[in-house]
Structure 1
């Protein structure tokens, strides 16, 4: 994909970069003001690309943390393609069994053995406010060229793309 030219194209690029990444690190804020991160199984983004979904147990500490302070940070990493995305947004807890069934994938049973209709299962919806991405060079040849150039010039190679993206107008 060519470098995006405008905010809409960059939003699409962010969605494309994270759509196949299965795990995100979700960082919440504790009541004591500390950051608390944990891996979360990512669901496919909404078609509008502005809402990201995660399943959770309703009695987990992250639910209390989100209800106390809804601002979260999500980190996505695809080391094979050297793509990295950081997403800031506001989270809310959704208790809706129909939505659970709609978003459920069977591999979630590993953490939620009672299935989508089980008691104590909730969703976390993260409304994306902004993102930053690093679209790196996945090619070993390009990486080697960047390394050689940096070693020869003493200046860092610019072998990828970095951009900040707003998700609100």
Structure 2
């Protein structure tokens, strides 16, 4: 399979889209081989599109990640703006107290009542291997009009950008 090297501009576009959307459905593979997804809030997206999350050390996803070669997928969607990002990558649990301090915010206490020192609190770091995005550049009204024209003409609408980026 031929891969195109990413450009800084492509990574920046993906990073901006993820930061704007922030909530993802993180998918892992369970013990029976089922795909399992759950909502997660991205805390930080690094320049290379490494994405950081807080999680519980004893959560099933941590076991699933270590058992299944660390492979994950994340789906980000902003339906109102018609922006979508799918990220394939490798995840790992990271116990880094300095990074936890850096990323901590008061909302996290709802999931970790003991605060930053909660023994269940750990980080999930996902390295992006490949991302694909779809981004509509037009308003909802223009997109609706393009879809209506497509129905009449039988020609698929042009709905914005679609790009695969390999990291």
Residue 151 of structure 2 is matched in structure 1 by: 151
Question: Cα RMSD over matched residues?
Answer: 1.5
Deviation at 1:98, TM superposition (A): 1.8
Residue 49 of structure 1 is matched in structure 2 by: 48
Q: Distance in 2 between matches of 1:73 and 1:107?
A: 25
Q: What pairs with 1:48-127 in structure 2 (closer than 5 Å)? A: 48-69=47-68, 70-127=70-127
Structure 1 outlier segments of 4+, above 4 Å: none
Kept after mapping to 1: 8 A contact 2:87/2:131 = yes
Matched length: 161
Gaps of 5+ in 2: 1-5
Tell me the TM-score normalized by structure 1: 0.89
Residue 133 of structure 2 is matched in structure 1 by: 133
Tell me the TM-score normalized by structure 2: 0.90
> Which is further off, 117-126 or 97-106?
97-106
SS in structure 2 opposite 1:148?
Answer: helix
Kept after mapping to 2: 8 A contact 1:101/1:117 = no
Q: Distance in 1 between matches of 2:140 and 2:86?
A: 24
SS in structure 1 opposite 2:10?
Answer: helix
